[in-house]
Structure 1
Amino acid sequence: MRRAALIAVVLATCCACGAGPSIRPDVAVEGHTGGTPGSSDTSQATPPPVPAPAVPTSDLPWRDCSGTSLADAALAAASTGVIVECAEFSAPIDTSGRIDGTFTAAATRARTSATPADAYPIVFTSGTDRSSGSTLAMLSATGLTAVLAAHPVVALDRRGIDRSTPIECMEPDTRRGLADLGQFEPSFSGDAADAVATLGHDATISCTDYLDPQELEFGADAAADDINALRTRWGVDTIALWAAGSGSDIALSYAATYPDNIARLILDSPAPIATDATTEEESRVQGQEAALTAFATRCAALSCSLGPDPRAAVVALTERARAGEFRPLSAASITRAISASLAIASQNRQLDTTSLADALSALGTGNPVPMRERAAAAEKALASDGQFVGRCTDGVQWPGVGRIRELQQTWGKSYPVFGNEAALGLSACASWPTTAPTPLPTALKPTVLVLSGQADPAVGNTGLATVTGVVTNAGARFASLDWQGSGHPAMQSACVQQAAVSYLDNQSLPANGNVCPA
């Protein structure tokens, strides 16, 4: 049996996504209303509380993460008193029974020696932003203190990413070309949009051939089925679900497909829901630019090595990168590394700021090694073949090359550091087959806690209005809590964690529209 027998995707190889009418369902857009969480109608009856999930009756065979892709992050988490453990289990390829067989799903658990043994676990998913396991390990290393004092957290990697039967479906040259967004392609002749579209087409053929012909979706709905397989393995009726970034698609799909099996729902820094790929990407690039501005403000206050105007210095460096001055480091590699560096902070924000500033300054003065190391780490975390498959499967209305060229011009001016590469990246999925839209819930039993951040380089913050619209349409009460800090996700804030624990334990929601300081 070919490797593809373990993993597959819904394919329609004759069809590719392009601009056109949206195939996503309409959603209401809910803003901050104040007063009663999730509603401007203060007379709304409060629904009865949903019972908390139970402790698993049949747990996974946990072990330490030595020898896995999480080993370094687990070691760093251990220095803060966090225990990071790994496990795998078999999940069905297709829950409908149309396709036989199973694949290996990978889980990562974070806890401390003091985490109550009788506390129910929180299931965590970060979608395709980066692997759920590595995100959890990084958050644990940088401070997930309040949450882990109350509950263990179990991250489930999306299929095809990291340890969940990873996909390696591209030719090495194609993978390298996409990572660099075509900048150093032999055929590159000034039209990067064409180069990336060609690379994306080659990647699509290679990956769909590798996965052919099992017709398994790698979308958010399949990831939701994997979460339910974990719930079933645990032998519990309901779970608590914490989703970050593009994991919000998975969480809402789970709530739609398994409405009786969810007891707590936290949507943390959600990506926009039911929007086209261009709108979703612009939200992300806005968040990247906002995070860079926050970094530049800190950098200037610390008299960092980038000089009196750190933002202008970074703009100048990216312009030099686009001119090929730092080859083999591409502009895409450098901007990806900057964005990744701004996402999750350590407990020493000052050190994070000066370290990134020093790496950028070294690049500008002829020493590329520090940025090369950051670029390699970011590419490993954010640009795997499985993430390509997942992102392309989830997205809709990928723009054509002509629209990409227009976006390069407009975004390049509006978002000078990240805009050009953000526009080019949309070309990569233009040939990917169209798949069905992710289902959205029509009824939600639990109340919902929605978190957002002011400067989120992973997804931006425009997703807040779309997810609260979905929650409102589903008849659930919610409260939004805004973290005024910079990074992704918002749960890295101690203030946010305290609100989350209160919600998890007794469904107590903060006042809608409350803020947590940076």
Structure 2
Amino acid sequence: MQSLVSRVGVAAIAGAVLAACTACGAGPSDRPDIAVVEHGGGSAPTSDTADRIPQLQTPVRDLDWTDCKDATLRALGLDSGPEGLTFECATLVAPIDGGSGTGPLQVGAARARLPQTPADAAPLVLTSGSDVTSTSTLAALATGPSSGLLERQPIVAVDRRGIGASTPIDCGRTVDRRGLADLGQFTPGDTSGVDEVAAMSRDATVACTDSLQPQELAFDTAHAADDLEQLRKLWQVDALGLLGTGNGSAVALAYAAKYPSRVGRLVLDSPVATTADAATAAEQRVQGQEAALADFSRRCAALNCSLGPDPSAAIVALRDRAAAGELGTVSSSALLTAVSSFLGSPRGDQVGRVRELSDVLAAAGRGDLAPLQGLIGRTEAAVGTDGQFVARCSDGQQWPGPGRAKELQRTWAERYPVFGADAAVGLMRCSAWPTMSPPPLPSAIPVPVLVFNGAADPVVGDGGVATVTGTLTSADTTWSNVTWAGYGHPVTTHSDCARRSLVRYLDSAALPTNGSACPA
């Protein structure tokens, strides 16, 4: 199934810098951080504060790791990575509330390291939340330009409940997964798709909550934070170093709220908004999708790619053909989801992937649908599982009703001409899900917090950063925000400049200048 951050007060120089950076060539850069003037917000900790922050610890006990490198990387279409890369998998038992009708919940984990990784180095814990599996983000990090991070310490990814290597969720044959993915395009009835998707949402919600009873409400952000605490207890360490990407930032903040004394480092990479209803969060995501597509199109045209001189127009034409039923079983929603997910992949080889996506879409335009159907299949396996449906619906707040969705469909179709209309209909996928409490927010965090955001992020957008930094300020926490001018998600796997800031922070909790910018 499928469910589916801007700082306040940036001085004029910031816009000029970012505008210049957006025009830079594709690929990571080794240029230094660009200092940007910014009014308000966080600041770097004093040396005295940094001295009081404890070093992270090596686990006393550990999970039962087994090699899973070849199987994992092959399934994700990744190469073998740097020489000597070790990639291992394990599970831990999730804490549950009372009895479980589904049996013990296993939470999947993966660990990556290199031969030169110090044996006594404390691991960094990665969570990508429900956007993609944490394991797949780690695999992309470990095999791409960001693999150098593994030279200083191992990285351990923890999947959400029901997602990835965790105990899978199967809501049963009664769920119209194809109809939800296609937003009802091939289902007779409401031409807008809103009412049809709302009906499918009701059926899916009943099927999933019935199959998960009595733990149907145990797959939200707060429970994901409990799983991280379970890992800390098993390791017998005092605190965790956390890297939360996308929706995983909400998990990391929930952990800081529930277990503040157990936070040793906290990095929020491309965070989702902390206080936003479902429609606002969706609009922020659509803004990021439109920006990422525009950036991709500029690069594609500059490379004389197979989509021609106006790649955006070619993609819109292909979408319209899909909406008219001219691409066989390929719906406009499935097409756009595949494009957005490709642009938001954590893989760092963006230069080569510009041509890859162009060739897939150009082939579909010529009538060869096999490459596109293959991409759609891989996308749905990566972002469209029953587990992700349950997690995303559990995490969302104030899902709109059909009337509001139809209003947004009209408004967003004009405001966001490529992705807007489908995004509004997509809000109905979770419209029948039980109302859940919002994830907890921290009132105090004992360590400085490093925040990254991308200027063109197709997974979460960048409109939520102000709410995140506002939350950190309310918690009287020192923080610093670094903006990357490129497109993609998350920043860590794409920007050398950001990774340098990350390494300094992990070593000593030292923050870069707040409002710094990294070039594309």
Q: TM-score, normalised by structure 1?
A: 0.89
Partner of 2:265, secondary structure, is strand
> Partner residue of 2:370?
369
Instruction: Report whether the alignment pairs 1:394 with 2:403.
Output: no
Mark the CA change 1:346 to 1:161 in structure 2 (over 3 Å): closer, same or farther: closer
Q: 1:190 to 1:507 in 2, by over 3 A?
A: same
Shift in alpha-carbon separation, 1:265–1:37, aligned structure 2, 3 A: farther
Structure 1 residues 264-293: Cα deviation after superposition (integer angstroms, max 9, x where no partner): 000000011111000001111111111100
Deviation at 1:70, TM superposition (A): 5.3
509, 513, 517: which is aligned to 1:515? 517
Work out the CA distance in 2 between the residues paired with 1:119 and 1:45: 24
Q: Do 2:137 and 2:346's aligned partners in 1 also have CA atoms closer than 8 Å?
A: no
Deviations 1:201-231 (CA, angstroms, capped at 9, x unpaired):
1000000110122454211000000000000
AA in 1 matched with 2:356 = S
Give 2:179's aligned residue. 177
Q: Which of residues 55, 63, 75 in structure 2 aligns to 1:72?
A: 75
Distance 1:40 1:134, change over 3 A: closer
| 1:85 pairs with 2:92 | no
* Distance verdict in 2 for CA 1:345–1:382, change over 3 Å: closer
Alignment partner, residue 33 of structure 2: none
Structure 2 partner of 1:439: 440
Residue equivalent to 1:428: 429
- Deviation per CA, 1:38-79, whole angstroms, max 9, x where unpaired? 437999995753102100010111111168555534962445
Q: Give the match's secondary structure for 1:379.
A: helix
Q: Is the 8 A contact 1:31 1:468 kept in 2?
A: no
- 1:516 is displaced (CA, Å) by 1.1
Which shows bigger deviation, 489-498 or 165-174? 165-174
Pick closer, same or farther for the CA change 1:81–1:323 going to 2, 3 Å: farther
Measured after TM superposition, the shift of residue 351 of structure 1 is: 2.0
Paired with 2:43 and 2:66, the residues of 1 have a C-alpha distance of 48
More deviation, 208-217/417-426:
208-217
Which residue matches 2:59? Answer: 56
Please state whether the residue corresponding to 2:492 is helix, strand or coil: helix
Pair 1:322 & 2:323 matched: yes
SS at match of 2:270: strand
2:69/2:86 contact within 8 Å kept: no
The 10-residue stretch of structure 1 (36-45 or 368-377) with the greater mean CA deviation from structure 2: 36-45
Q: Answer yes or no: is the 8 Å Cα contact 2:290–2:416 preserved in 1.
A: yes
Which residue in the other structure is 2:245 paired with? 244
- Asked whether the equivalents of residues 31 and 465 of structure 1 are also in contact (C-alpha less than 8 Å), the reply is no
Q: Which moved more, 1:308-317 or 1:279-288?
A: 308-317
CA distance in 2, matches of 1:263, 1:347: 27
For structure 1, the 5+ residue unaligned runs are 1-27
Superposed displacement of residue 180, structure 1: 1.1
Amino acid at match of 1:263: G
* Distance across 2 between alignment mates of 1:311 and 1:209: 43
CA distance in 2, matches of 1:276, 1:266: 24
Q: Report if the CA contact (8 A) 2:44-2:511 is conserved.
A: no
Supply the distance in 2 between the matched residues of 1:363 and 1:425 (Cα, whole angstroms): 24
Q: Is the 8 A contact 1:491 1:497 kept in 2?
A: yes
Output the CA distance in 2 between the equivalents of 1:324 and 1:392: 29
Instruction: Give the stretch that moved more between structures: 85-94 or 362-371.
Output: 85-94
Q: Quick check: 1:37–1:509 contact (8 Å CA) kept in 2?
A: no
Q: Identify if the C-alpha distance between structure 1 residues 165 and 42 changes in structure 2 by more than 3 Å, giving closer, same or farther.
A: closer
User: In structure 2, what is the equivalent of residue 115 of structure 1?
Assistant: 117
Work out whether 1:190 is the aligned partner of 2:191.
Answer: yes
1:160 to 162, 166, 174: 162
> Which residue is equivalent to 1:6?
none
* 1:310-341 per-position Cα deviation (integer Å, ceiling 9, x unaligned): 11111111111111111211111111110111
Q: Residue 37 of structure 1: CA displacement?
A: 8.9
CA contact (8 A) 2:10 2:39 kept: no
Q: How far apart are the structure 2 equivalents of 1:57 and 1:43?
A: 31
Q: 1:23 corresponds to which residue?
A: none
Question: Helix, strand or coil for the counterpart of 1:129?
Answer: coil
Q: Deviations over 1:343-378 (max 9, x none)?
A: 236554332111111111111110011111111111
Question: Contact 1:285/1:422 (CA < 8 Å) preserved in 2?
Answer: yes
Residue equivalent to 1:416: 417
Q: Which residue is equivalent to 2:270?
A: 269
Distance 2:81 2:148 in 1: 16
Given residue 431 of structure 1, which amino acid in structure 2 is its aligned partner? A
DSSP 3-state at the match of 2:94 = strand
1:13 alignment partner in structure 2: none
The number of aligned residues is: 488
Whether the 8 Å CA contact 1:305–1:361 is kept in 2: the answer is yes
Paired residues of 2:198 and 2:402 also in contact (CA < 8 A): yes
Which one-letter code corresponds to 1:72 in the other structure? A
Structure 2 CA distance for partners of 1:73 and 1:240, relative to 1, 3 Å: same
* Alignment-derived partner of residue 302 in structure 1: 303
- 1:79–1:114: structure 2 CA closer, same or farther, 3 Å change rule? closer
Give a deviation string over 1:467-518, Cα, whole Å, max 9, x none: 1011111111011011111100000111111110100010111000111111
Describe the SS at the equivalent of 2:473.
helix
Q: Decide whether aligned partners of structure 1 residues 311 and 36 sit closer, same or farther in structure 2, where only a CA change above 3 A counts.
A: closer
Q: 2:273 aligns to what SS in structure 1?
A: coil
Kept in 2: contact 1:30–1:465 (CA 8 A): yes
Q: Deviations over 1:57-115 (max 9, x none)?
A: 10111111168555534962445653211011222213xx5769742111011111111
Q: CA deviation at 1:437?
A: 1.6
Q: In structure 2, what residue type is equivalent to 1:108?
A: A
TM-score, structure 2 length as denominator? 0.89
- In the alignment, is the contact (CA less than 8 A) between 2:174 and 2:207 conserved in 1? no
Q: For each residue in 1:162-206, what CA deviation from the matched residue of structure 2 results, as whole angstroms up to 9, or x when unmatched?
A: 211110104266111111111112x33413001111111100000
Unaligned runs of 5+ residues in structure 2 are 1-5, 12-36
Query: Is structure 2 residue 235 aligned with structure 1 residue 234?
Result: yes
CA spacing shift, 1:90–1:509, aligned 2, 3 Å: same
Tell me which amino acid in the other structure corresponds to 2:329: P
